[in-house]
């Protein structure tokens, strides 16, 4: 069987399974099975597949038809120009989270804290683009921390990034001039409506804190003032309807007038709050 024949069969299989973008996913999975870049599939599609390649592709297509995310099958996800290892123990980095990273990079920072780091994509991308900075990533999941540490090594950032098992600020010493987080924010009542790729395959603790979805923001808002330097920034990814509630939590903790950034679809996506005080002292001991 040639690659082109296998690809056509895979597209039918994925389409019958209700996968949106079946042709795109099939090409990515064939590239993974062949060990080539996705943009080279056309060049090799006429070649006969080796038995091992055909078996690997069939296994990948079967997994995708069961609604496992492509990134988990291939074990990798591109984010902000970098590639990150992804496993079922980590949240799949989303394009929307790139908005948070872009906002973080608008101002220099020297010491960063990433709460709920997962793959480490936020922390490591920020450090990659801020060569003089160091940072700490925390997570309650040791399995996720192991993935993040591996990504740091792969990106040659292990010397500037440290990872600590922690429930938000518990056990995190010192102060930072940038704190960022994409915390679990989906309300319990909304979980059933998520796509199967998310609901059934991604770690539940990275998706929802239960209840109204705001518990993580309550903890972060309460703990951030003691961990931010004067003039330091707190950046939080939020759900599309949570801007007012999260802003109110931050204002109650002394953060004046948080800024809301919208994503490309016009949905509220990132809250930016600044610690009161003289910005000239930011970075001081």
User: Are the C-beta atoms of residues 177 and 234 closer than 8 Å to each other?
Assistant: no
- Looking at the fold, whether 191 and 247 belong to one and the same domain comes out as yes
Identify the domain containing residue 81 by its residue range: 77-281
Q: Can you tell me whether residue 156 is helix, strand or coil?
A: coil
CA distance 229 to 93: 28
- Looking at the fold, whether 123 and 215 belong to one and the same domain comes out as yes
Residue 71 counted as domain residue: no
**Exposed, middle or buried: residue 95 (CB in 10 Å: 0-12, 13-18, 19+)?**
exposed
CA distance 227 to 223: 7
**Which pLDDT does position 283 carry in this prediction?**
45
Confidence tier at 284 by pLDDT (50, 70, 90): very low
The model's pTM: 0.91
User: Are the C-beta atoms of residues 278 and 231 closer than 8 Å to each other?
Assistant: yes
Confidence tier at 80 by pLDDT (50, 70, 90): very high
CA distance 163 to 155: 15
Q: Can you tell me whether residue 259 is helix, strand or coil?
A: strand
Residue 282 has pLDDT above 60, yes or no: no
**Which pLDDT does position 206 carry in this prediction?**
94
Question: What percent of the chain stands above pLDDT 90?
Answer: 88
Alpha carbons within 13 A on the beta-carbon side of 46: 1
- Looking at the fold, whether 92 and 173 belong to one and the same domain comes out as yes
Report, as an integer, the average pLDDT of 209-223.
96
CA distance 152 to 140: 18
| pLDDT, greater one: 61 or 39 | 61
Confidence tier at 279 by pLDDT (50, 70, 90): low
- Looking at the fold, whether 244 and 211 belong to one and the same domain comes out as yes
CATH code of the domain in which 112 resides = 3.40.50.150
Structural domains in the chain (count): 2
State both tokens at 15: 């389409």
- Looking at the fold, whether 273 and 140 belong to one and the same domain comes out as yes
Report, as an integer, the average pLDDT of 86-109.
96
Question: What percent of the chain stands above pLDDT 70?
Answer: 97
- Looking at the fold, whether 167 and 266 belong to one and the same domain comes out as yes
Residue 281 has pLDDT above 60, yes or no: no
Query: What stretches of the chain show up as alpha helix (H) in DSSP?
Result: 3-16, 22-34, 41-44, 51-65, 70-74, 97-104, 121-128, 142-154, 196-199, 204-207, 215-223, 243-252
Per residue in 99-148, pLDDT tens? Answer: 999 999 999 999 999 999 999 999 999 999 999 999 999 999 999 999 99
């Amino acid at each position: 069987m040639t690659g082109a024949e296998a690809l056509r069969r895979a597209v039918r299989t994925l389409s019958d399974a209700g996968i949106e973008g079946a042709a795109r996913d099939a090409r990515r999975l064939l590239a993974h099975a062949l060990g080539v870049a996705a943009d080279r599939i056309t060049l090799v599609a006429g070649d006969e597949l080796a038995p091992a390649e055909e078996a690997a592709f069939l296994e990948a297509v079967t997994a995708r038809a069961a609604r496992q995310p492509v990134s988990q099958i291939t074990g990798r996800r591109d984010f902000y120009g970098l590639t990150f290892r992804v496993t079922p123990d980590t949240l799949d980095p989303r394009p929307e989270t790139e908005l948070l990273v872009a906002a973080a990079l608008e101002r220099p920072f020297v010491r960063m804290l990433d709460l709920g780091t997962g793959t480490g994509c936020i922390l490591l991308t920020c450090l990659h683009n801020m060569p003089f900075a160091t940072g700490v990533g925390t997570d309650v999941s040791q399995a996720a921390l192991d993935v993040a540490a591996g990504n740091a090594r792969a990106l040659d950032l292990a010397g500037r990034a440290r990872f600590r098992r922690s429930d938000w600020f518990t056990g995190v010493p010192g102060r930072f001039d940038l704190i960022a987080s994409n915390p679990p924010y989906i309300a319990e009542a909304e979980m059933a409506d998520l796509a199967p790729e998310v609901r059934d395959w991604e770690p539940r603790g990275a998706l929802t804190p239960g209840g109204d979805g705001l518990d993580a923001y309550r903890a972060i808002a309460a703990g951030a003032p003691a961990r931010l330097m004067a003039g330091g920034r707190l950046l939080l990814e939020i759900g599309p309807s949570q801007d007012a509630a999260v802003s109110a939590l931050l204002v109650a903790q002394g953060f004046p007038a948080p800024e809301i950034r919208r994503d490309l679809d016009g949905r509220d996506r990132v809250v930016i709050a600044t610690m009161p005080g003289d910005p000239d002292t930011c970075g001081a001991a």
